[in-house]
Structure 1
């Protein structure tokens, strides 16, 4: 079943500034999950991926019907963190593990930490204390109330950020100290394993299953529910069921060609919208995630020094309100008679901004949408 021209005319596209590094677009034609995947890959990037709780609100804003998203069942199972936002992890620290011996060979799928700091597995329906991640100065929050793993996950998402991830030995020791101080002999952490993976092979581990889901051995695709008590939650359905669907396009695209700043600007305007502007801390977090994959020490942004007024501007005319320069760079008067300067973001470390001559050859980031 192909989507014909009439169906394309019905495409409901809602483009908006969001907390997600993706732009979601709703397609109202009801098809099976394979057809939905094919259409998204031909016309956008892929079926919708969801990385964090804020993405759910973005998705619910664009339609009034339940729809396919890109989470599909596979034959393999991997351990994943409940806190699925990729910007929370750096340098592969999402792969940190501190298992006790012989813990991952069985069929149980949820992880907890003992007072000794070692991790063990249990049935996800077992009742345990748990550790939430708060995302503030409080950091880790022990909850001395016993719940199943999924109920603990829902509690942490409703009241904090998520069940805690453990990214390194220091965090492991800190959580262990919290447990010992609070008297918890064991506590759920946010590590689980399942057979579900995103259509675009995204590393996102975010899940928002409704109670009792997934529950069908022949149900191998995911529908996001629009209305009722399960609004925003997910159900597994057979792939041959018929639903509308949501595709996504990347908001920012890293181009791994080494071009001058002017060449990069021209490339972005011909193939996308423009060189990226970074006008808020929230946007910078998303751009940093893209920039980390660059093959040059820095990547061009759409930032340039306007000599006539001795000020920095974005290409689309915005003044630079939010900024994150390397100390001593980007400020103070410049002698424009000597050399013009433009702005780039470092691809490693704390990824601050630096000013460079525009003739330098770097990778660059294009924006795909008008603000």
Structure 2
């Protein structure tokens, strides 16, 4: 077999979505108000704990090694601004409301004839979960539940309530509804609330206990409860509780360096320029780059000219892809200058190919 072809097939065979942990949790067994806990976390780690998904939640619970603990502060606090977001933790970038919707009164969304409507979360509907189903990635659940009960069901039995990230996905879900002869309105994973993470993360993941949050205007901070599931409760911010901090493994460096200079900096001071192997990691990168001072930010992404192939500095082929149109998919002109990969700091934060001599901010990884 031709050596080049063999190498390509070997890389494809090794293509995987394995991830290292990108957020480390630290339990602090001191009684502090929410604001005091926030200050301590920011001084010693990154911030009060942010949670992106159930995997993060499980890691956080592992960090709590004190059986006496009742309630524990995390970094979620109520603000005065409502916004729509997805149960899976993704921001709602593309919306497909029906005429006159949302009407401003309700906080959960269902789909009817391909359009979205807001409704009270306490009402009961059938619903669609995202799943690992190889054909559609969708599962229709022909049971009527409140939005939060539907969310819990999807998380326990599949992945989550379905997200609809663009018009193409909206059409695919409506086709799934039509093909499955579903004649009912169905919950989707869209909801709105006024809660914001202390580190300004875009994560919309929530894991409220039944009936929570239940005391708007008084209980404006979030604590993990003593129940086995470790679900969340709203609490008075001046209460003194133990707390959990997180330490991010991604660090934005706001110096402007060429790609080779950025690589050397990360390797000397941390581990390496960041590699992005999944949508989950991309969302964490998106949270970091919004603080950048340049229009794009270097990643650990480089073009291997001899084979016209993009690789990560970690040695892995680019399996998960997030290229902007016209980038990363056509042969690069390597005779002029070596090409490296960066992520846009604005817009929809896609990846772009640039000459390695450009000077940009960059992201280092601690792991």
Gaps of 5+ in 2: 1-17, 305-310, 322-327
Report the CA distance between 1:60 and its aligned residue: 1.0
Would you say the 8 A contact 1:213–1:235 is kept in 2? yes
**What RMSD, in angstroms, separates the aligned Cα atoms of the two structures?**
3.6
Deviation digits for residues 324-343 of structure 1, max 9, x if unmatched? 6957989xxx9xxx9997x8
- Alignment partner of 1:255 out of 230, 253, 256: 253
Query: SS at the partner of 1:347?
Result: strand
Alignment of 1:68-147 (within 5 A): 68-85=73-90, 94-106=93-105, 108-114=106-112, 116-137=113-134, 138-147=136-145
Distance 1:119 1:94 in 2: 14
Would you say the 8 A contact 1:19–1:54 is kept in 2? no
Question: For the structure 1 residues 182 and 279, does the alpha-carbon distance in structure 2 shift closer, same or farther, using more than 3 Å as the test?
Answer: closer
Alignment of 1:210-225 (within 5 A): 210-217=209-216, 218-225=218-225
Distance 1:213 1:287 in 2: 27
Query: SS at the partner of 1:76?
Result: strand
Report the CA distance between 1:275 and its aligned residue: 2.7
Structure 1 partner of 2:154: 156
TM-score by length of 2: 0.74
Query: SS at the partner of 2:298?
Result: strand
Deviation digits for residues 35-65 of structure 1, max 9, x if unmatched? 1112222333221111112110110111134
Question: Which segment drifts farther, 286-295 or 239-248?
Answer: 286-295
Distance 1:143 1:268 in 2: 47
Gaps of 5+ in 1: 1-16, 87-92, 306-311
Deviation digits for residues 109-157 of structure 1, max 9, x if unmatched? 211112x222222221211111111255322322111111111000111
Would you say the 8 A contact 1:20–1:54 is kept in 2? no
Structure 1 partner of 2:6: none
Query: SS at the partner of 1:365?
Result: strand
Distance 1:286 1:202 in 2: 9
Would you say the 8 A contact 2:129–2:161 is kept in 1? yes
Deviation digits for residues 229-268 of structure 1, max 9, x if unmatched? 3x22111111122211112232112324331345324543
Would you say the 8 A contact 2:29–2:243 is kept in 1? yes
Query: SS at the partner of 2:81?
Result: strand
Distance 1:182 1:159 in 2: 22
Would you say the 8 A contact 2:274–2:299 is kept in 1? no
Would you say the 8 A contact 1:117–1:173 is kept in 2? yes
Deviation digits for residues 192-249 of structure 1, max 9, x if unmatched? 1222221222221110001121122321111113x543x2211111112221111223
Aligned residues: 323
Alignment of 1:292-307 (within 5 A): 295=294, 299-301=298-300
Query: SS at the partner of 1:258?
Result: strand
Would you say the 8 A contact 2:275–2:299 is kept in 1? no
Distance 1:279 1:77 in 2: 30
Structure 2 partner of 1:347: 343
Distance 1:18 1:27 in 2: 26
Query: SS at the partner of 1:94?
Result: coil
Distance 1:74 1:323 in 2: 38
Question: For the structure 1 residues 302 and 268, does the alpha-carbon distance in structure 2 shift closer, same or farther, using more than 3 Å as the test?
Answer: farther
Structure 1 partner of 2:45: 44
Structure 1 partner of 2:7: none
2:236 is aligned with 1:235: no
Report the CA distance between 1:98 and its aligned residue: 1.7
Would you say the 8 A contact 1:142–1:182 is kept in 2? no
Distance 1:351 1:193 in 2: 29
Question: For the structure 1 residues 297 and 222, does the alpha-carbon distance in structure 2 shift closer, same or farther, using more than 3 Å as the test?
Answer: closer
Distance 1:199 1:291 in 2: 14
Distance 2:168 2:267 in 1: 45
Structure 1 partner of 2:202: 203
Distance 2:223 2:116 in 1: 32
Distance 1:313 1:196 in 2: 35
